[in-house]
Amino acid sequence: MLKELPQPGEPEAASKFVSLEKALNAVKVHLGELYEDYSIRLTDMKPEYLTA
């Protein structure tokens, strides 16, 4: 999922990032400990995607 994100600043990058965040939250229960790792990574990437 993360590898499918376009580079920040590309068309639709912000909307795809938001979609990925929503998808991650939807499967949170099934990911267990992996959720925290993905969540931290997305939090680190968020400023690049939503302010670009």
In this model, does residue 52 exceed pLDDT 80? Answer: no
**Integer-rounded Cα radius of gyration of the chain:** 11
d(CA 38, CA 33): 9
pLDDT number for residue 11: 93
Residue 29 placed within a domain: yes
Residue 1 placed within a domain: no
- Tell me which residue has tokens 């229960």: 29
Residue 20 placed within a domain: yes
In this model, does residue 19 exceed pLDDT 80? Answer: yes
Domain total in the chain:
1
pLDDT number for residue 31: 94
In this model, does residue 24 exceed pLDDT 90? Answer: yes
User: What domain range includes position 40?
Assistant: 7-50
Q: What is the pLDDT of residues 27-40, one digit of tens each?
A: 999 999 999 999 99
Q: Sort 48 into a burial class: Cβ within 10 Å, 0-12 / 13-18 / 19+.
A: middle
Residue 40 placed within a domain: yes
